Every structure is written in structure tokens, then in C-alpha cells.
Structure 1
């Protein structure tokens, strides 16, 4: 009997021990399950967060790369190749097909400073006298432009190029124009006497020009109808916006209308030189990754020293009679100029910029204002009644 009792006691002790072990095992399993569940949730959260950061930044988060390198002793590049390129700012391709004697040298000087400061590629062509291209030349130029590392800004004296015609991604266009007569006079005297960069600059630019042509009075040139002061030489600004079509070179309504259409469809901004600071301010707001801080640079004393060398020398104002004749010959140019100026003012109003009243002074019905085209250069503007 005592033996049987001892056996029962041993059995009960065994059962209690087994139950205690089972309880401890259950507790351990429960704890492990909670820990694993929390680890899974943390991993999932980290994965989701990493995916979001990846998509926003155009590549894997730096934290994940560090973690992978720490645990796996390898990098993302080792297993998956090069990282996806980060998203480029928009627009990342800009073309400035600068119009001659419309402040282009001022802008190019600024762009050289901005390219280094804002880290974009600037390609400034040295070709100045080939604005009209054959179909083959257009294709080659557009392919070469498109191969420039982005973001880039390409600038050249060239008539508008239609990239979509050749099924090439089109860049964003910008440009600046000025009062047509002011542009003509600046070009007339620049060809003869150059600017402040050097006393012999004009001889280098036009070495074949004879003295009787170089010193030809501007009034005589206009009133006697010399080729330089009559059509088609005066039809100059519109072709830069009309394009490469042969009809763009002929003064007429077709070229004028095509130029207007291209301004509306292909140009981010076309400014007027007479309001250059507002042009720079709008460019800074529209394409900040190219023109950030441009207005401060333009106003700086260091830049002024450079800009003072680009002013055309020995400029003269023609007589009222000559101006009236010249204006009649440039009727299409003035209609386009007024169109661009109106669109520019609309853009200014959208950004909350006001157009300041332009002071005028009257003398024998000749309204004009002296202003700087490029620092140091006098400009005739708003001469008409």
C-alpha cells in the first residue's frame, strides 16, 4: 500500500513538473511570437519607407545602402549595377537662339558665370554668320545639341529649329529682342567701329570694308536707300522666330504669323531688352536651376566692369525724316515687336510684376529715351509718336 502511494506521489510530481515545463514553454513561444511579429512589422515599415524615399529621390535611400553594406559587406552597385539617374530639373534642355545686337553678349557673359555657379553645361557657339541651315545641317545640329549632358543651355545666332520635325525631343526656347530701329542702329555702327573691347575691333570684324562705306553717314544711307539700310536687310528679327523655311526670309504676313505662332508654342519666354532686369527676374523664377541669383550678379560691380566693354562706340541718332522712312520699311518688324512686348507684359502680370512708366521727352515730335542696352551703350527707344 505504501509502495502504491509512493508511486502515485511520484506520478503527481512528474505531472506537476511537466505542466510547469509546458507553461514555461508556452510563455517562451508566446514571447518569441510577439517579438517576431514586431520584427516583421518593423521590416515591412522600413521597406515601405525605403520604397517611398527611393521613388522621391530617384534611387535607394542612403540608410538602406549603409545597412546592406554593414551586414552583407557589399553595395547596391555590386549586385544590381549602376543606380538609376536622379530626376533632372525641368526644363533640363534650354536653347537661346540669340538675336544679334539684342543684348546677347550681356546674357552670354552672365551665363558663363551662372554655369559655373549653378552646375549646368553651357555650350556657346562661336558661329555668328550662319543662321540659315540646310536640312542636313539642321539635323546634325539638333542631334549634337541633344547629346549634350543635361541640364544644358545651348546658345547660338541661329534661326528657330523645329526639333519635332525630325522626331527629336524639343528643348525649351528663350530669347530677347529689342526695338527694331535701335537694333538696326546698334548693328550699323558696331560693324563700322566695334565696341570698347579694343581700338582695332572694328577692323578685325570688317577688314574688307572701305573707308567710304565705313564712314557713310547714317542719314545718307537711309534716305538714299543704300542696300544696308533697305529691305531685306531690315527684316532681321522675325526670321529668328519664324524658322528655317525659305519663306521666313521674305518680309510678309506669312513669316510674321509663323513667328508669332512659334513664340506662343515653343518659347518659354521672349523678353524685351528695354526691360532687361525684369527679363532676368522672370528667368530666375521660371528656370531657377539655370538663372538662380542672376539679378544680383548683373547688378554687381564686378560684372559691370565686364559689361562696360561691350557697348558699341560712335553711335549717332538719325534725323526725324530718316527715322520715319526707316520705320515704314520695318513695319512687319514693329508689329512683331509690339506683339512680343504685349505677351511679355502679360507674363509679368502673372508673376505680380508691374511695368514701370517709361519716361519720355518730346523734341520736334521725336519721342525717345536714353537707356542702357548693355552697360555703356546708348539706345534709342519709343521714338514714334
Structure 2
């Protein structure tokens, strides 16, 4: 819009008019050959000295035996473009008249108010930029190269693809007089003046006489986007985010954290074992004793057991991260799950009192002393409010009055003494390092589709067909070990204990963001080719 306004002012001086496309600023989609021919003929029929502006992909005048015009265009930083568009279509002066004109319902307030960084981190389709994906039909114009590539849908629409990029480059080199950018205003204006003087003589003078302070189509409502979000979008690469290639053996090691939905993952493993002939589920880890901290001898024994498993084995155990390098052993493919820290401890509180867990316990140890009825009926809200030691999650504590598995990060930190203090920044930092370096995927059932997609693509040997198996066995997977008798927990109570989980939440969000980054970097077109998407 800024360039069009400049041309309009210059046209008054140099005696030419600027004709805009007939769509009132709309964007012409991929055109059929007949449609492309029509618009080319219309442009070619304009008188010499005319200027025509349209949101339309590159038009090949030579292919249609028509005289070639003087082509110009502008480019912008790709990430800044999609952010700008995101907020542009949410501006009331854009969506209100646009929807009224087309008799469309006004948008959901949630859609209008969702910030771009939230949209990216939550993995919403409109903010998910998948390499080589075809048109998403979300209207965000993420393909800047499409305007230079043309109207061949198969060749030009794969997002961030090499072929459309090469075609766009070729067209720019062969057809365009100038492709400028407002990121380099002086250089762009100087080149336009020198290379297209009939239309842009004295463009710099005209621009700085007042147009530069009246930015067309600007959006003052667009907030500041954190640099980490911008950097994340610019640097996503599935290969760099996949640690599966760093494993020494094709053994899947699920050192399952407590109360994250590991029983559901076990059910999925069982379905995958039946579905894939080359997979074996080793169940011995389901019956081992859980230790909060192991000595070196115990760690060696556990690591040696995993390292000796046959390739194609899936192994699951409640055990903290093991350093296979410490014992010069081949490293398996690590996976795990995370869950909202407060929801985890609430889940454990009721799980410990559940009929399911106690039936298992007393079946194993019939003579075990039974707890008093009051313990089973304890109210979590009152437990927190009354200061009951069982429900007081005190930062930096080593010992707990009652076992509660509140340290989610402990499963990723390991067995070092520094891993034990609850909500410790040191423990969390160690856990993050291990996740970043050793874990192929850390998923979450809070984001089921994202997790299954990432597992399928990053660890195909073990998770091919995972989404299909999940759908086929959904009832078993989602209901395994589920406590349907968990009572209502007051939001105020959750807020009270959440204050003591600051570093645990830091770790949780770190893992979730890593998962989203892995998902965003995926090539979903490849998954579709193999029939793994529903």
C-alpha cells in the first residue's frame, strides 16, 4: 500500500494513473489457465504509461504471446510478514467491513484476542508452518515466493520448498526490473529512480516530502513479539531437533515419570507390538521396585540390562534418567511424557487412595497394614488449607512426610544429590540439559495429536501407525488407570500450591515448547505420502 500511494503521487507529476485490481485490495488465488490468460490480456491492453497494481502471482506474458510489462515488486522478512498479516486481519477496521461486505458472521472474540506467540506455542494450524505442506486454506499468505513463482499449484504451493524458490528466483532474475524492500528504503527508492525513471523519477524527494510519515495500512495494535518466538520460527529444522539419530541402539527406553499417563502409553505400546511384527514389548520393568535415587551399582545394573535388549525392543520402567556414557554402554532412544505439575500431584493424591492401586498392593502383600478410613476419605482442599504435611509442597526439601512424586524433573535429572531438592533450579537445569541432549521426544497427553505426530515422524521404527492404533484402541488407551472418582478441586487451592512449583513449571513449559518446535518443524506432506495421517 505504501508503494501504491507513492506511485499515485508520482503519477500526478509524471502523468500516469495507477489502476488497482478489481478485487478492492483482495488477493487473487491460484488462477486457472483461462483466468490467467484473461488478466494478462487486460493488462496488455492498457495504454503505454499506465501502472497496474494487483495482489496476484507472477503472470507469464511471454507464454501467452503478449508483450511483457515492466515488473516490480517488494519483499519483506518472511516471519515479520506472517506476524503482520496475523494482526492485520484481526484489526476491527479490516474484519468488520470485510465480513459485512460478504454477509459473514463476526469472528469469535477468542480468535481476535489470541496473541501470535500463544498461537505458535499452542500449535494452532494457522500458526504452524510446515515445510513442503500444500495450501492450508487459512488465508495467511505465508508463501512470499508464491507471488514470484506463479500459478502452477503443484510446483509453486509447497511451503518453503526448493522448487518454488528456484522458480521464483528464475522469474525475478529474468522478468523483474526491481524487487525492493522498505527495510532498505533509501536503496530501494534510489534503484527505482535509476532503473524505472519513467515512473519513479524524484521518488525519494516525493517520499520524504511527507509520505514516509503516513504509513499506509500500518497496524498500531500489533504488540511486540518476543525475539525468541521470531528466532524459533526462523530456525526450525526437524533434523536438528531429532535426537533419535544419536542413539547407539534401536531400543526404545521409556523411563516413565509418575502420573503423566504412562499407563496409556503402555497400552499404545501393546497395540503397536501387535501391529508391527518387528517390535517387542519388554514388560519386566513394570514389576521392578521404584527408587528415588540409585547408587552406582544399581545404575550400572539397570543400564546394562537396557543395553543388552534386542533391537526393536520397547522397555518401560519408573526410573530416573540413566547416563549410559558413564558405563561406556550404547545409548538407547529415550522418550518420556510430562504433565501439568499441580495436576500431577493432585492425581497422585487420589491415585494413592484409589481402589485400583490398593487392590494391586494388597494382592501383592495381603498382610500389609491397612490405613485408617479417614486417610482414604481425606479431602484434598482441606488437606492443603489445613497445613496437613502430606499436602505441603515445600521448596528445597529433601524428605517428604508422605511419598508423592512431586518432583517431575527428577525423572529427567537423574540420581545425583543435586536432583533431590524439590523445585530446585539446579535440578531443573540438569533435567533440561538431559532432555535437550538425550531425549528423542518428550510428549504430553495434554497435546495428544501433536505428541503422536512427533513420535510417528521422529521415531518411525517404533511409532509407525501410532495415530491409527490410538484411534482403534482409544477406549483402552484413554481409560487405562484413569481415576473417575476424583472430586472437585477448588481453583484457589490449585493457586496456593502452584506458587511452590515455579521451577517445576519452568521445566514443564520447556518440554512443551520443545515438543511444539518439533511439531512445527515436521514435513506433514511426507506423512501423508506414507498414509500415517488420519
Query: Shared fold (TM-score greater than 0.5)?
Result: yes
Contact 1:164 1:170 in 2 (8 A): yes
Which stretches of structure 1, 4 residues or more, deviate above 6 A after TM superposition?
none
Q: Report deviation, 1:299.
A: 0.9
What does residue range 49-68 of structure 1 map to in structure 2 within 5 Å?
A: none
Q: Report deviation, 1:209.
A: 2.5
Correspondence for 1:136:
297
Larger helix fraction of residues: 1
Q: Report deviation, 1:320.
A: 2.7
Between the aligned partners of 2:476 and 2:513, the Cα distance in structure 1 is 33
Correspondence for 1:347:
518
What does residue range 275-286 of structure 1 map to in structure 2 within 5 Å?
A: 275-286=447-458
Contact 2:342 2:497 in 1 (8 A): yes
Q: Report deviation, 1:98.
A: 0.6
What does residue range 125-164 of structure 1 map to in structure 2 within 5 Å?
A: 125=285, 126-127=287-288, 129-164=290-325
Between the aligned partners of 1:117 and 1:170, the Cα distance in structure 2 is 26
The answer to whether residue 346 in structure 2 is matched with residue 185 in structure 1 is: yes
Contact 2:344 2:406 in 1 (8 A): no
Q: Report deviation, 1:308.
A: 2.8
Choose from 105, 110, 115 the match for 2:273: 115
Unpaired runs of 5+ residues, structure 1, are: 1-88, 354-385
1:193-214 deviations in whole A, cap 9, x for unaligned?
A: 245xx99568659963221111
Q: Report deviation, 1:163.
A: 0.5
Contact 1:235 1:333 in 2 (8 A): no
Correspondence for 2:253:
95
Between the aligned partners of 2:405 and 2:259, the Cα distance in structure 1 is 13
User: Aligned pairs, how many?
Assistant: 262
SS at match of 2:352: helix
Correspondence for 1:253:
425
Q: Report deviation, 1:223.
A: 1.7
Between the aligned partners of 1:306 and 1:260, the Cα distance in structure 2 is 28
Correspondence for 2:504:
333
Correspondence for 1:314:
485
Q: Report deviation, 1:225.
A: 2.7
Q: Report deviation, 1:130.
A: 2.5
SS at match of 2:322: coil
Contact 1:242 1:256 in 2 (8 A): yes
Between the aligned partners of 1:222 and 1:202, the Cα distance in structure 2 is 26
SS at match of 1:170: coil
Between the aligned partners of 2:363 and 2:506, the Cα distance in structure 1 is 35
SS at match of 1:192: coil
SS at match of 2:519: helix
Between the aligned partners of 1:181 and 1:173, the Cα distance in structure 2 is 25
SS at match of 1:351: coil
TM-score, with structure 1 as normaliser? 0.63
Determine which structure has more spread, i.e. the larger CA radius of gyration: 1
Q: Report deviation, 1:228.
A: 2.3
Between the aligned partners of 2:299 and 2:515, the Cα distance in structure 1 is 29
Give RMSD over aligned pairs.
2.4
Between the aligned partners of 2:496 and 2:522, the Cα distance in structure 1 is 38
SS at match of 1:98: coil
**Structure-2 change in CA distance of 1:263 and 1:305 (3 Å):** closer
Between the aligned partners of 1:140 and 1:146, the Cα distance in structure 2 is 10
1:167-223 deviations in whole A, cap 9, x for unaligned?
A: 11111211111111111111111111245xx99568659963221111111012112
SS at match of 2:353: helix
TM-score, with structure 2 as normaliser? 0.46
**Structure-2 change in CA distance of 1:320 and 1:303 (3 Å):** closer
Contact 1:283 1:291 in 2 (8 A): yes
Between the aligned partners of 1:128 and 1:283, the Cα distance in structure 2 is 28
The answer to whether residue 372 in structure 2 is matched with residue 210 in structure 1 is: yes
Between the aligned partners of 1:317 and 1:352, the Cα distance in structure 2 is 41
SS at match of 1:310: coil
Contact 2:334 2:438 in 1 (8 A): yes
Contact 1:95 1:154 in 2 (8 A): yes
Between the aligned partners of 2:313 and 2:320, the Cα distance in structure 1 is 19
**Structure-2 change in CA distance of 1:129 and 1:91 (3 Å):** closer
Between the aligned partners of 2:417 and 2:375, the Cα distance in structure 1 is 30
**Structure-2 change in CA distance of 1:199 and 1:335 (3 Å):** closer
Between the aligned partners of 2:369 and 2:505, the Cα distance in structure 1 is 32
Unpaired runs of 5+ residues, structure 2, are: 1-246, 398-403, 525-534
SS at match of 1:164: helix
1:144-172 deviations in whole A, cap 9, x for unaligned?
A: 11111112221100010011011111112
**Structure-2 change in CA distance of 1:199 and 1:158 (3 Å):** closer
Correspondence for 1:47:
none
**Structure-2 change in CA distance of 1:226 and 1:129 (3 Å):** farther
**Structure-2 change in CA distance of 1:127 and 1:277 (3 Å):** farther
